Amino acid sequence: MGLLDDRIVLVNGGSQGVGAAIARAAVREGAVVAVSGRRPEPGETLVAELTAGGGKAMFVRADLADAEQARASVTRVVEAYGRVDCLVNSAGLTTRGTLLDTTPELFDQHVAVNLKAPFFAMQAAVADMVRREAPGTIVNIITSSAHGGQPFLAPYVAAKAGLIGLTRNAAHAHRWDRIRINGVNIGWTATEGEDATQRAFHGAGDDWREQAAARLPMGKLGQPDEIADFVVLLLSDRSGVVTGSVIDWDQNVLGGLD
């Protein structure tokens, strides 16, 4: 359909999982895509896949826990392509911690990746758009757990709930610049990272996905490619004037009780 024809799209945290799916979908819709990540191997492998299929893509090495590197992820793309039209903040740290056992160090790690990195990447992207007096779109990948979440996700929830507020604040501040900023609260999703988390923290076996799916209303976990299609729509002009929206992309209904 070419929803993102000729757009320059940066997907921070885009070398695997939901971010990689968004990168694939954006290339399929005509975008030039940059993906950032801390580890070169998965990022460069993804870029090789995208370019082998005829797409245009680059990898930007960035440890998003460092605010300066989060900012630099945007400036690297602007240096390479002259601008950034769309930004997706998809990096996420999900290490476990409750209110009682979370250390200040763990809390700071969550804030750095889940809140500070999006803040400063958005700062750099919006600055480029404002400098050019050009419209742009930003989508923040958040989490349905930001509504309250599980007890073992206390620092994660705190940081991601902050990202919801940031999304709305930035959208309001820059609507007259024609910069649309939205968020997606994704639910339980089948990714490589989730597989590692389930095994490391919950003792999950090889069949954990099947067991989880059987307990969910739609009979399956969220799928990265489906989330990616939705994000591409929000990045594109087809989503119209919507800005400041944080949309629940989940099969559980907030406030619904059985």
According to DSSP, residue 222 is labeled B
Q: Which of 59, 156, 188, 249 is catalytic?
A: 156
Q: Strand 246-249's sheet: what is its strand order?
A: 56-61, 32-37, 8-12, 86-89, 136-141, 179-186, 246-249
Alpha carbon of residue 103 to chain centroid = 25
User: Any bridge partners for residue 139, and if so which?
Assistant: 88, 182
Q: Return the residue matching tokens 């087809």.
A: 238
Q: Name residue 96's amino acid.
A: R
3-class secondary structure, 64: coil
3-class secondary structure, 8: strand
Q: Name residue 115's amino acid.
A: L
Structure tokens at 145: 């757990």
81 classed as catalytic: no
Q: Return the residue matching tokens 């968004």.
A: 22
Structure tokens at 17: 């999982």
Please state, in angstroms and as integers, the Cα–Cα distance from residue 212 to each residue in 123, 216, 219, 225, 257, following that order: 38, 7, 8, 19, 20
CB 231 within 8 A of CB 239: no
CA-CA distance, 141 to 248, in Å (whole number)? 11
Which residues form the catalytic set?
156
